Amino acid sequence: MSDAFLILGAPAAGKSTVARALTRRFTRGVHIPVDDVRHMVTSGLVDMSFEISDHLLAQLALAHEAAALMARTYTRGGFTVALDDFWFGAQPEADYTRVLGPDLHLVLLRPQRAAALARLAARGTDGDSFRPLLEQAIAFVDDELERHPKTGWHVIDSTRLTVEETVDAILHATGVQPR
């Protein structure tokens, strides 16, 4: 089996951009944005909010499991996989490691809060209606990460790193060599 990476962080941490760049370093790579898996639900989708419900948690668990199963299928086929998702809860890796096992590379992108807010602002006017929610989410995740230990995670402060430097830092931290 090939390597699988779980890249988590707050909104605007660069998760999707870094995951795509990481998988491009390999001869065979797949990027799985977990938000895309969640949005495959065509009716009955529970929107993300700060009001955590059992329905939201159940849908998140389904999306995590579906994404992890997809990742497992691709790693068995010889592809390197990077899943990207937002940091949620004290052990956000649990649904993924249940399917992918303990060899899953856990990467936390953790730019400084001001950098994440600046990246969000640089996205332009697309999604302006969601900007206040995303700004709140950045602060919420940053505060959560201060409270919960990051044992077993490769924490990358990407505040001053380019995308390629961030990928280099991930590869160095995990000891994985592109092939």
H helix or E strand, kind and range, residue 30: strand 29-33
Task: Please determine, for residue 89, whether its predicted confidence score (pLDDT) is greater than 80.
Answer: no
Q: How much is the mean pLDDT over the chain? A: 91
Does residue 20 contact residue 3 with C-beta atoms inside 8 Å? Answer: no
Q: In this predicted structure, what is the pLDDT of residue 50?
A: 64
Task: Please determine, for residue 123, whether its predicted confidence score (pLDDT) is greater than 90.
Answer: no
Q: How many CB atoms lie within 10 A of CB 163?
A: 14
pLDDT in tens, 131-176: 888 888 899 888 888 887 678 899 999 999 999 999 999 999 999 9
Does residue 7 contact residue 82 with C-beta atoms inside 8 Å? Answer: yes
Residue extents of the structural domains in the chain: 4-174
* Residue range 4-174 in CATH 3.40.50.300: yes
Q: In this predicted structure, what is the pLDDT of residue 57?
A: 87
Q: Which residue has the higher pLDDT, 93 or 45?
A: 93
Angle at which helices 163-174 and 15-24 cross, to 10°: 70
3: helix, coil or strand?
Answer: coil
User: Would you say the C-alpha torsion 89, 93, 94, 99 has a positive or negative sign?
Assistant: positive
The pTM score is 0.92
Phi (first) and psi of residue 87, to 5 degrees: -75, 125
H helix or E strand, kind and range, residue 59: helix 54-76
